[in-house]
Amino acid sequence: PSTGVLAGRRVVITAGGTREPLDPVRYLGNRSSGKQGIALAQEAAAQGAHVHLIAGIVEAELPRGTARLQVERIETAQELQEAVQRAAPEADLLVMAAAVADFRPAEYAQAKIKKTDNGGAPVITLTRNPDILAETVHRRSVEGIGPRVIVGFAAETGDEGSDPLTLAQQKLQRKGCDLLVLNRVGENLVFGEDATEVHILASESARAQLKDSEVISVRGTKAQAAEAVLLQAAE
């Protein structure tokens, strides 16, 4: 029998970035390394959960699949959406650590886009990707199916003098998830690094369940951040 705060729980974790194809050789991507999501998956397994890690493009090495930890690969936001839709109904906890592209090229060119002789450059039109987190929350509230606890992430650069915590509070409400993990990002912050700084915010209804209802801040390794997030989620 497994022990740990997530013993016997089914946990779905998304990690890494998505890759949105433009033509057979080009794509739009982002700088997510996948390290935080992988750390979450490893910590959840260590806490006794059955883990389904849905990984996009990652820079870090993926854990090997075990009886406890199943690894599924996806590339685009739409593939991630399908994978989450399949996995979420059975899950107790969903952690959306993936850096999902908000936009994808509106059209996929079947052949490589060519340079023209007149020196012009193509215009790439983008279209919105589905918001997988918001959609999963919505489905839970409308159809009553899905994870009891849903955790979102927010990568904020703290631009235009706006306070990242205020932005994160707004995002928490807008997305409707139970916990929101804020991390500061920028050129040399967080992406690809092993050290991180996260702030864990709880929704109003989640706060009622928590002993420590204030914002929890962790500065340390991504493994330490993962542990703090999963402890809050378990509670």
Q: Which stretch binds ligand C5P (CB under 6 A): 34-42, 95-103, 108-116, 227-235?
A: 95-103
Q: At 19, is the secondary structure helix, strand, or coil?
A: coil
Closest to 15 (Cα-Cα) out of 167, 43, 2, 148: 43
Closest separation between CB of residue 51 and ligand C5P, Å? 17
Among 20, 43, 92, 131, binds ligand C5P (CB under 6 A): 131
Closest separation between CB of residue 197 and ligand C5P, Å? 17
Establish whether 112 is an annotated binding residue: yes
Residue (129 or 203) nearer to ligand C5P, CB: 129
DSSP string of 134-178, one letter each residue:
HHHHHHHHHH--S-SEEEEEEEE--GGG--HHHHHHHHHHHHT-S
Is residue 30 part of the annotated active site? The answer reads yes
Residue (46 or 83) nearer to ligand C5P, CB: 83
Q: Do residues 84 and 129 make contact, with C-beta atoms less than 8 angstroms apart?
A: no
Structure tokens at 167: 């932005």
Size of the site for ligand C5P (CB under 6 A): 13
Closest separation between CB of residue 14 and ligand C5P, Å? 6
Question: Does residue 102 touch ligand C5P according to CB under 6 A?
Answer: yes
Residue (48 or 91) nearer to ligand C5P, CB: 91
Closest separation between CB of residue 48 and ligand C5P, Å? 24
Structure tokens at 40: 């979450």
Closest separation between CB of residue 193 and ligand C5P, Å? 19
Among 153, 172, 183, 234, binds ligand C5P (CB under 6 A): 153
Distance CA 205, CA 114 (A): 53
Beta strands in 1-156 (DSSP E): 10-15, 20-23, 26-28, 50-55, 69-73, 93-96, 103-105, 126-128, 149-156
What is the number of other CB atoms lying within 10 angstroms of the CB of residue 159? 9
Q: Do residues 104 and 28 make contact, with C-beta atoms less than 8 angstroms apart?
A: yes
Question: Does residue 96 touch ligand C5P according to CB under 6 A?
Answer: yes
Question: Does residue 20 touch ligand C5P according to CB under 6 A?
Answer: no
Q: At 26, is the secondary structure helix, strand, or coil?
A: strand
Among 6, 13, 38, 77, binds ligand C5P (CB under 6 A): 77
Q: Do residues 55 and 71 make contact, with C-beta atoms less than 8 angstroms apart?
A: yes
Establish whether 194 is an annotated binding residue: no
What are the residues binding ligand C5P (CB under 6 A)?
A: 77, 96, 98, 100, 102, 129-133, 152-154
Indicate which residues carry an active-site annotation.
Answer: 30
Known binding-site residues equal 102, 112, 130-133, 153, 171, 175
